[in-house]
Structure formats: structure tokens, C-alpha cells
A and B are shown apart, each in its own frame.
Chain A
Amino acid sequence: MAIDYTQEAPVVEGKYSFKEISEIISKPMEVFPDKKYFIALGISLAMFGIGIFCWILTFVYGVGKWGSNVPVGWGFDITNFVFWIGIGHAGTLISAILFLFRQRWRTGIARFAEAMTIFAVINAAVFPLFHVGRPWLGYWLFPYPNNYELWVNFTSPLIWDVFAVSTYFIVSLVFWYIGLIPDFASLRDRTKNKIKKVIYSIFSLGWRFSHRHWHNYEMIYLILAGFATPLVLSVHTIVSFDFAVSVIPGWHTTIFPPYFVAGAVFSGFAMVQNVLIFIRKIFNMEHIITIDTLEKMNKIIIVTGSMVGYAYGMEFFIAWYSGNPPELFAFLNRAFGDYSWAYWIMVSCNVIFPQLFWIKKIRRHIVFMFIIGVLVNVGMWFERFVIVVTSLSRDFLPSSWDYFTPTLVDLGILLGSFGLFFTLIILFTKTLPVVSIAEVKAVLDYAQPSHHEEVKNG
């Protein structure tokens, strides 16, 4: 199929009336969930339950239930944290940066990506707060006024994390909610259920689709997009400081901020793409979340994947070029040491497989793109694992080198974090519109009618 690149492809395929759009998107919230839904929810809740059980074990007995040791003080905990924060990056990038760049294709996926951001950040925030030895004192990481005259250490990157993650969470949540207001109003107007109506009424804040409302809405949305844009870059930059500020070879690297941001966008897009493939199929939204949109996401995956690949190469070059033997060893050890299996999983999943997206057929083939998306996420999880664990396991003094082996509790918590994430997503699909009704209507071909066009209104 030849595409005319001089013309922007329509975001929504086919001619849908506004009413049809509203119906398609609102449908999941208006019909009672079927058996499949409950099976899916049950599975993800079971995963989540396993995670909760493992967390309880950890709280009761101590982090000794995990595989960490000295020298590898952080294992799956911080790996998972960085992984989920990374997943959360796609949302803001899609909704804020692409909005500022007037990328119309974002409308089909923005809502979902934003929701994923919020769920991923919730997921991520669990780890730094509760991975500590005394989780009941996790709140000490926040600078709160107290009569012990205690204050936090502002030179510690973990404190920067606290601010970065909490700011990111709040801004993402507000941005997401603002975007939802017109849709809440639509739902309020559509529903016949009294309880739902009350809830939607409350959340729609008295939205009446007036011009004045739209005017204010557009303005605040733009401002928030502007506000969220630097956060996309800052959050993962600051997360990367956890490592870059340290002295450990393999962590102490100036390339980390851009490399982490690229990696985060990379994994975030892969996760959005993966989940959307199911959503568009299940909820018959193939014409709203089109193959063209997915293809565009895959293109971003190639770009960011290549950036990540470049960073991998550059790390090696700098390790050699710096003339710093422990640094060079740390990187050689990644590639050829005890954890080389993890490193090569990372490289193949992150650098090699996404390059298949250069082939158009693969880029537009649902099954292939799904598999590659999954591989990207596997690779990105391993990237964090490689950074956290291999660097620590082989640091300066060979006498303290040790190997990290995860325990069942570690694996249970990892499973549980996916459980929490999918539980929230599954609940989301039936509670809120997964695609922005208002925004999609705005990008329909006939949304900005002029006298040249025959308007078929619904």
C-alpha cells in the first residue's frame, strides 16, 4: 500500500459520526463486563495477591527474604523501580510533548498512555518506599516538620527521587484528570444510571461544553503540557542520578541522564503499544487506534532503541577512553562476566530486535510488533538489572565481589508489580474512556467544517 507522505494520514480511519465515536468509546463502560473480563481481572488480581503476600513476608521478617547482600545491596527492588518509572514515561511524552508538537495521531493513544503513566508511577513508588530495611519509617524520606529537629539530606539523590517522582505523579494525575473532564461530561449526559450520573457529575465539574469552557480548557491543557514536558526529561534524569552520583564503576557515568530518558521512552512506548494492541481489538477500536498510529509508535521505538544502542556503545568507548581500569573492567564484566547472559539479553532485545522495524511489513504487522514490544520490555528490565546488579557485584575490591541470586520472594514481588499494573489497567478500561472522546472528535476529518466540505453531522 503506497502512502502519500505529502498528505497527513487521517487519524481515524473511515467516516464516523460524532455520535458513533461517542458510542464506540463509551461502550465498555455501559455494558456489564463479560466472563472474559473477570477471568482477566482474576488472573491479574492473583498475580497482585502473590506480590502482596511476598511484601508481607518482607515486612514481617525483613529484606533478608530477598537475594540482596553486601555488595549487591539493591537487586530486584531498584531494578523494578527504575523499570516502572521508565514505563511511565511514554504517557507524558505522548500527551504533553506530542501535544505541543501538534501531533494529531497522539489523540487515539494519549488517554491510555497517561493512565499507564499513573499506574506505572504508583507501581514504581512502592519500591523506594518499602524496599528499605525498616519500611515503617519510609516516611522519613519526606521532609516533614517534626519535633525531633530532623531533616532530610538534600545531597542524596534518593531525596531528589522523592521530589521528582512525587512531582511527576501529581502533574501527570492533574493533566490526566483535566483531559478527562469533557469526557466525564459526555458520559454524564449519556448514562441513565443514577449513581453513575452522580459520580460523573461530580467529576465533570459542571462542564456544559460551552465555548467559555472549551476556551479555558484548551488554555490549561496547553499550560499543563508545557509544565509536564520538562518533567519527562527530569524524572528519569534524576532517577539516573541515583547511579551517576555514586562512585561505583559502571554507575559513575555522565551519559546516564540522556541514556535513561531515551530508554524510558523506548520501554514506555513498547508497553503502550503492547497493551493497545489488545484494547483496540477487544473494544473494536481498530479504526480509532489505527495501524498507522501503531506504526508511528514503532518508529519512535526504532529511534529511541537506536539511541539506547548508541549509549551502550558509547559507554564502552568512554570506559576504554577514560583510561580508568575499574571502569573498563566493569563494562567488560557486563559483557563477558558472570552476568553476560543478562547483558546479551539486554543487547539483543533492545538494540537488535527493534531494528526489524525498519522493515515496513514488520512495522505494520500486529503479531510481529507485539513480539518485538514484549522483547523491548524484557530487554529494558534487564538493562536496569544489568546496571544495578552487575556493577555492584564486581566493584572495586575483588575480595568483596559476590553473586546476586534472586529468591522466590523477589520473583513474587516482580510478578505482583505486573499484577498491580494490569489490575489497574483492566479496571480502568471499564471505568473510564480509554480514548479521549473529545479529542478524537476534534481530529476527525470533518471536525473543523468549512463551506468546502459537505458536513454529515450525527
Chain B
Amino acid sequence: MKNNDNSQQVTRHWISVDDFENNPKVIEKKKKEFVEGVTDEFNISTLSLLSRRKFLALVSASAAFAATACTDYKDKGEIIAYNKKPEDVTIGKANFYASTYNDGSGILVKTREGRPIKIDGNPEHPINQGKVPNYVQSAILDLYNPERIKAPQINFNGTLIETQWEIADKEIIEQLNNAVKQNKEIAILSHPIISPTTNKLINEFIAKFPTIRLYTYNLFDDIARQNAWQKCYGTDFNNSIQWDKPKMIIALEADILGTENNAIENIRLFTKRRDIENPKDFNKLYAIEGNFTLTGANADVRIRMNPIYQLGFVLGLINEVLKDNPAIDYWFDIKEKVKNYNLTDLANTYNIPVQKINNLIKDLKNNRGSSFFYAGVSLPEETQIAVNLLNEIIGGTKFYKTDDVNITFTRYSNSIELKSLMVRMQNNQVGAVIHFDTNPVYHISPEYEYAKSIDKVPLKISLTVNENETSKLCKYILPINHSLESWNDFQLRSSYISLQQPVISPLYNTRQKEAILLNWIKPQESEKIFELYHKYLKSRWENEVYPQTAQEVDFQKFWYASLHDGFIKMNSQRIEKPAFNREALKLINITSKTDNFTLQLCDNLSIKDGRYSNNGWLQELPDPITNITWDNYASISPNSARSLGLKNNDVIKVSNDNSSIELPVLIQPGMADSLICVKLGYGRTVAGTIGSNNGTNANVLINSKGLSKFLYNDISIEKTGKVNKLASTQEHHALDDEFVKDKHLERGIIKEGTLKQYIGEPDFLRKGEHHSYLGPDGMPLSITKDFEYPEVKWAMAVDLNKCVGCGLCITACNVENNVPVVGKDQVTRGREMQWIRIDRYYTGTPEDPIASVQPILCQHCDNAPCENVCPVVATTHSPDGLNQMIYNRCVGTRYCANNCPYKVRRFNFYDYRDFFANGFYYKDSLKLAHNPEVTVRSRGVMEKCTFCIQRIMEGRQEAKNEGKIFNGKDIKTACQEACPADAIVFGNLNDPESGVSKLRKHKLGYHILDMLNVRPNVTYIAKLRNTNSEDV
């Protein structure tokens, strides 16, 4: 290249041969500094549409999509805030509504985000005062029961076809009208009606269809008592009893603290007189019973006596009392009649300790005018009459409340009425039968042949929540609302009316049972039916209730205030008890002694008459005395078992006239000999997955030939050779085995004394205790410094004087803490999950023991032995003294449970919600029943009582929000809230004013297994028995 020739040719650099040779192409290229395209004008249209950013975005998005597609993430549903927030609903904050359960209990329903999750008693309610029975607390499960009938059904020869309400209504109304035209009876079978508005409605219904007859029944009725009262006083027995007033209570075969009506109030009133701060005021309870009941377990003196001898016993007592009574002249005729009944003879004949009976007579004489006798529902009419008379003589009648009487809107249909209904049914004189939330096929004695009789009735209707033995035989099965979905009012006593309001709209296509009737009276458009009964109820209140109350506010305000409170007070008139009719005594004829067995049919504390069968929590609630779950059984005394050669779990055949049942034996210490007790309510066959086929249906033994509905003589027993293992939560040891006997006393688990001992020497419990391990400050010696709890320290105290062992705390804890149901086979294996249990110990001979009950829950020990052995630190101690469980960290070595001296830890051996009944409790609707504040535990994790930490944290947060110092004053655990005796006290130990610190220092306070120095934080207050020193 020429121009290059002039320049420095020697130093020239060349990059290729072409360059060196000055190829024109290279020269051309060299002119351009940059490669072609680089310096070109930037033209967007020529570029790829895919920018770098977009490319990267697409790459990452596709990677993300691929990754998501490969996971098995399931959409667990949306959790979004309310689009339109309902008034009064704040997410995460519970709302409480006062309402009433269908049995008349005043309830307070806790709802979260619109769904009810817990039922407690309405604290203001005059009877309940914040406490409700087990079946009301457990009703949460019934509400969300996936097996509820979800739409009206028509039964075509056993095939159930879902239908529309309109179709069913139309067909039914037509047929009802036909029945009236043909002058055929329309029978309504109902439980006693306790709602004034329902009562009014039924009357209107009867007015519309004039051939209607209403029949009411209950499996557990008190007809014998009512009849006796009629004979003695000529009126219905409707007095409530002031259990807190008598100094001495003598319960004859009456489980006043357990299965008798109104037990919640009874327990409250009874335990009012068991206040250790007021020992001189203690009442004294005698239980005279054949069965071993909760009342017997709590009695200061329990005299075991077969119920058939109790008439003679009462007459003997009358004889004794009249012997030197100043009112002798007044009762002269009676004195003459009873003079042959000698208690000593009776005691000797039936092997009853004479000493106990003499003491009873002495006590009766010392407490003239302040003693009260009460006869249980199972006792025959004659015994009831004798007890009424005895109360008249000793002045016990003043304990009947006269200004607040029980209200009855309906009376039980007697056997003649029911028999004639059956006859009319068989003769085709009955055109329709309406089961108004009843199950007579299961409940009514087989004598009536009810199932066979209704076969002849052309129109059979069942209004029911769940399918049952009766609905199966009905043509129309109409689903009704649960209590928590309904409107109504209830009146059990003259002094108040309780209101029921729905706390959730009906979950399924159901209607309120009253609305169904209203609609049949005057058919409405279907949209209006939802409000139909609400309006009816409101208008009755406006026209009938509101004027009575003489309010200054207008009705609307009055209505809302009543709904808010859940009840209104009424002025009740005083009803004096009429004079005793002496003629009644003439009806008494003492039954002769029998060598054969007597059968007693009993109530139970869980599933009641079987209507709560499909509730797992109730089925798994241990019987307070036998601790048996899921089953009924034949309780029999150790002596009788020995003479018949029976062992626990042996199946026997119990026959009564033409009926017989087979069920396993349970040897019950303390039962009267030659007596068999069987719980009713079991053996349902059509009651859903959980409720069916648990135990044996003993209703079939009911007939009209018995001494009473619940008591039968001349029962025969046969050994079948079969064995059916009962599921008990407490192992049954041979009580007479010296080897394991009285371990609970020896180890200081149960500490008891007598009232006299306590009054004479208040620190008798701690006297003579010698602890070499205690330092000079009274605290156990330790080489390490104690951990300090400067702010709040939680502790609990259980007053065993008040605790009767009813088990309401167990249910409350189940509901609050999402405790799973494990099923019978798992209970048999010893894997029940309840966080609080009630231990029952016997002391004395198997023939006539004393029972002690004791609720046991996590003791939240300061030196918790469970904590140091956990390899993964899954159980730790909180700064406020709680022993905590970290479910997420738990791997499930079970070491903590092994090392727990109180054995309160519960292990998820399976994922119990999945394991039990093929995942029954995993069904969608039941998930709504869970308390959202408590983790639902899965398989392989340890769990235990937390002292309701979710409530503590809520209180702590509230205090923080309000800028207050948290002292834990208002925190209540679920068990504490449910306890009808207020036996459980929970609080801050650092607050010297709190109830728990006072009880902890109390002279009767003790800790279980103190010697282990684990320093438990649950103090037990020793039980004082108000016995004569000779009885101990």
C-alpha cells in the first residue's frame, strides 16, 4: 500500500498475510473501526421481540411452573378477608352468644368467624350459672356431624330418595287432611314439651287438624315419683329442692350428683356446703344404694342396700323416728302401722352394718328439722310414698322450693294411653303418626310392639336430625335444625324463660321442627319458612310475654335485651304444698324377700337415652365410677360374682319375663348383693357410624310388670361362656389383693381426713410428716439455684371437697383442645387421649369400699422430669411456669411419658382422626368443629394439658393492647369454667391475693408424690368426710 510506504515500514504490524499484502478487502475493513452491524443505526423493528429481560422472565417462569407442576401442592382453600365484613365479626376474635339448648340449659356459644366452636353455660342463667352437662358441651360435634340428614327424604320400601320440601309438604298436608276427613287419629309422639311457644304452636296444630293426639314420653321418666306425689298430695311433683339448705341429706338410690335430673344445679348447691373455710357448715350426705353411684362415692356414709329392701328400711326409720317424737299424737296411726319394722333385724338379715344404721338414727334425731330424704327415680311408687311420709315427719318438706316451681306443659302419657294407641294403630284407626324428634322404636318397651303397630299406619313422618331406628320405618324423613340453628324459648321453672337463638344458619337443607308444623297449618312460600318460626316466637313474646314483664322500654329493645341475656326473669307465684294425705300409706305393701336377682336399669352421664350415641366424645367419656367407655355392662357385686363363678368381661344372659339380653359382667365393688345394674341408652342399631352397635340395648327389658320402670325382681342370669372385653380407662385390680391394696393411701396420692379431725386439729394432714430432704427454709435441698418466675407463675388447685367427679371438665377440655376420639379398641389398649382424667380409688373391703375421686392433669412441675429426658428439646419450661409441648419438634420417643410420674402425657400412636372409624373425624364438616387456636396434633406426637395456654396468650395480648400489666386475674381454663362445683381454681401464684395462692398455703393442701421433688404446681385440697369417728 502506497501511503503506507512512506511511513515506518520496518515497524509495521500486520495481522494476516492478506493484511501484509495489502489486500483491498482488508483495507476496506480497516477503514471501519467496528464490525458491520455494531455501529448501525439502532432499529427496534429489526430486533427480536424477546428482550433479555423477557427471556429471563420466561425462563424463570417456566422453571417455576415446572417446579410447581411437580409438587403435590393441594389448594387448601382460600383464606381471604371478608369482602364485606359482617358486623361484629373480627377475624381471630371470638364472639359469644347467649342461647338455650334443646333440653333447656342456658348456654353461651363461642363462635369464631361465624362458626360455633364451644358451648359453655350461660353464666347469668339462673339454673345453669355457667355450667352445662356433657351432652350439651359435646353438641358441637352433633352440629357438624357429617351424617346428619341433609335434605328431606322419602322412603320407598327401604330406599331413601331425596326430595324437595315442597313436594313432601304437599303430600303430607294432603294426607293429613284425608286422615281428618276419615276421622282417623293423627298421633304426635314427642318428648315432654318444655317450650311455651312450641306448646302454643302444637295447640294451634291440633286446632287445624282436630284428630291429632299428642303423646309424650321419656326413656328416663319419673312416673313413679309423680304418681306417689299425686297420691300423697294430689298434685304434680313440681318442686325444686334447695340442696344447699339441709344439714343432712339422705339419698335413697338417688344419684343426685350424677344422673338424676338437674344434677348441675344439685352439685352447685350441694358443694356450697363443702367449703373448707367454713367447716362448721358442712352438710352430711348419706347414700343408701344398691348400685355404686357418683353420689355414693361422694357420700360421707354409704350404706349398701338392695333397692327392694329400701321400703322396709324407710318404714323402719319411720318407726325409729316416731318412737320418741313429740309429734307422736299426730302420727299415731302411722306409728301403729310401722311398729313391726325393726331396723336391726333388717340390718342383720341383709348383712348391713348395724353401726352405720344406728349412727344414721342418731344423726336423724340430732338434726331434726334439718334433714332431707330423697328417693331416686328407680324406686317404686310405694317407697316414694314412704319417703314422702318420712320427710313429713322429720320436717324435710321445708326444703322443697315453693316460690319457684318446675313448669310442665305436658304430662307423660301413661301406659294405658300408649297401649290404646297401639290397639288403634293395629285396627287401622290411626291415619298418621308424626315423630316429633323422637325415637320410640328404640325407646318404648317391646311390650307395646311399637314397630309392628306403626306398620299399619298409612302416613309415618319422622322429624329428626339424624337417622334413627324410627325414621328408618317412616315414609317421610324430614331433617330438622340442630339446637344451634334454631329459634325457641324454654321454660323449666316459673321464675324465668330462656331464649334460644341460632348462632349459625342451617348447614344443610333443614328446617326448624316448629316451622314445619307451622307450614302445615298454613302453607307458605319456601323463602319465608326460614323466618316463619322466628316471627311466630317474636309475636308470641310481643303479645304474651312482654305485657307480663311490665317493661318501660319498647318491645324491640326488650326483645334484643332478652336475646342478649338469653333469658328473662318472670314473677312467679308461690305455690304451697298441699297437706299430706294419710290414706296414701295404706297403699304400701312391703314386698317379700326374694333370693333371686334384682335388675336395676340406670341412666348414664354421657349418651343419656341414646340420642347422643353418634357423638364420639360422649361415647369415650369414662363412666365416673367404673371408668368404662363405649359400652354398657352388667354391674354385679363381688360376692354375687363369686357365687355365680363370674369374672370381669364374662358375657351373661340376663332374662326378664320374655326378653333377654347378653352383655359383659363388670364386678363392681360396693354393690349390693343379688343386684344387677345395667345402663340404658346403649345398643342403638341405626345411629350412624359411631353410635351404632355399642353395647347392648337394655330397653328391651322394660315392661309393666316391674316394681317400677327401672326395677325388676326375679331376674335370671345365665353364663354364656363368651367374653367381651370392656374398654376401661383405669385398670381393674383385684381390690382384695393385699399386694396392690391401698397404694393410693400409702403413697399419699389420696389424703383424706374427717371433719371432726380438721376442726379439732386444722393441720392434722401435715402433722407427723418428716422430710429429711427438706432444707431449713422448708424447700427441698438442691445444689442448683431455683429458677425464678418474677412476673406470673401459673398454678392450679383442686378442692377435693368440692370435686364430685362428674367428668364435665373432661368434656370441656376435649372441646377446647381438639382432643381426638380414639375408639374402643384403642381405649382397651390403654391409649385414650383425654388430657384430664378422673381417677377413682377404692379403700376398704371390696364388699363395702369407700371411693375417692381425683382429677389428674399435667402438674406443670417446676422440676419436670419429662423435660430433661427429651432428646430434641420438644418439651420445655416457660418463664411463667408452664411445662410446654412443642408439637413440631417432637419426634415421638415417648421418653417423657415414661418418665412422667403422673402419667398425664398422651401419645398419638396413630393419626387418630384418620385411624378412628376410617377417618370419620377428618370429614369436611367436622373440621369446622376445631378450636382454631389449638393445633390439631398428628401421628407420632406427644401431647398433654397446656393449662389452656391459648387463653393465657389471649389474655396476655389483651393486657398488652390495653397497656396494662398482665397479672392473669381473669384467665380461666376450660376445665375450671365447666366445673359445676367450682372445685378447680387456676391463677397466678405470684399474686398473693389469687385464690390459688391461698389454697396452696392451705393446711389441707398437698401435692401428689411430693417426695420426688418434681415440685408439681397442682395443689390438691384434702377431702374431709363428715363421718362419725366410728364409721371410718
Contacts and interface: CB of A to CB of B under 8 A. Distances in A.
A329 B743 contact: yes
Contacts of A62: 908-911, 915, 939-940
A396 B902 contact: yes
Nearest to A332: B739
A291 B873 CA distance: 52
**Contact residues of A: prevailing secondary structure:** loop
Contacts of A67: 829
B869 interface: yes
Nearest to A396: B901
Contact of B908 (A72, A133, A156): A133
Interface in B798-835: 826, 829-831
Q: Which of B749, B905, B907 has the most CB of A within 10 A?
A: B907
Contacts of B870: 153, 156
Interface string A148-178: 0011110111110010000000000000000
A329 B1012 CA distance: 16
A69 interface: yes
A325 B899 contact: no
B908 A70 contact: no
Given A325-B747, A397-B839, A156 B731 contact: no
Contacts of A246: 865, 869, 898-899
Contacts of B61: none
A247 B903 CA distance: 12
A402 B908 contact: no
Interface stretch (A135-143, A199-207, A211-219, A274-282): A135-143
B940 A133 contact: yes
A141 B733 CA distance: 38
Interface string A103-144: 000000000000000000000000010011111011011000
Interface string A323-339: 00110010011001100
A395 interface: yes
Contacts of B27: none
B891 A141 contact: yes
Interface in A394-420: 395-403
**Contact residues of B: prevailing secondary structure:** loop
Contacts of B895: 73, 156, 158, 242
Contacts of B1008: 397
B202 interface: no
A71 B743 CA distance: 17
B941 A134 contact: yes
A63 interface: yes
A157 B893 CA distance: 12
B744 interface: yes
Interface in B510-555: none
Contacts of B841: 398-399
Given A73-B895, A74-B894, A133 B1009 contact: no
Contacts of B941: 133-134
A200 to B, nearest CB: 41
B871 A64 contact: no
B975 interface: no
B903 A63 contact: no
A73 B192 CA distance: 49
Contacts of B902: 396-397, 400
B1009 A70 contact: no
B868 interface: yes
Contacts of A337: 739
Given A398-B744, A399-B730, A133 B856 contact: no
A241 B841 CA distance: 33
Given A70-B906, A397-B856, A400-B903, A247 B733 contact: no
B865 A63 contact: no
Contacts of A152: 871-873
Interface in A307-330: 325-326, 329
A325 B871 contact: no
Given A133-B890, A397-B839, A247 B940 contact: no
A132 B839 contact: no
B461 interface: no
B829 A132 contact: no
Contact of B939 (A69, A74, A134, A403): A134
Nearest to A324: B1011
A336 B744 CA distance: 19
A158 B159 CA distance: 60
A138 B898 contact: no
Interface in B709-736: 730-731, 733
Contacts of A140: 872, 889, 891
A290 interface: no
Nearest to B829: A69
A67 B828 CA distance: 11
A144 to B, nearest CB: 12
Contact of B892 (A61, A63, A402): A63
A248 interface: yes
Contacts of A440: none
B856 A158 contact: no
A381 to B, nearest CB: 20
A73 B901 contact: no
A80 interface: no
B840 A399 contact: yes
B576 interface: no
B1014 A247 contact: yes
A155 B746 contact: no
A134 B890 contact: yes
Contacts of A245: 868-869
A132 B892 contact: yes
A68 interface: yes
B869 A156 contact: yes
Given A73-B907, A247-B1014, A325-B747, A392 B898 contact: yes
Nearest to B1013: A247
B1014 A68 contact: no
B79 interface: no
Interface string A373-402: 000000000000000000010011111111
Given A140-B872, A332-B739, A69 B915 contact: no
B911 A401 contact: no
Interface in A332-353: 332-333, 336-337
Contact of B910 (A61, A135, A138, A333): A61
B749 A158 contact: no
Interface string B356-373: 000000000000000000
A158 B868 contact: no
B884 to A, nearest CB: 14
Contacts of B903: 70-71, 395-397, 400
Given A68-B909, A74-B894, A399-B730, 13 more contacts: A62-B939, A133-B891, A133-B907, A133-B908, A135-B940, A152-B873, A153-B871, A158-B895, A396-B1009, A396-B1012, A397-B744, A398-B744, A399-B837
12 contacts: A62-B939, A132-B892, A156-B871, A245-B869, A246-B899, A325-B746, A329-B743, A396-B901, A396-B902, A397-B744, A398-B841, A401-B731
Interface of B: 730-731, 733, 739-740, 743-744, 746-747, 749, 826, 829-831, 837, 839-841, 854, 856, 865, 868-873, 889-895, 897-899, 901-903, 905-911, 915, 939-942, 1008-1009, 1012, 1014
The 6 closest A-B pairs by CB, nearest first: A133-B892, A133-B940, A64-B909, A69-B830, A73-B894, A399-B839
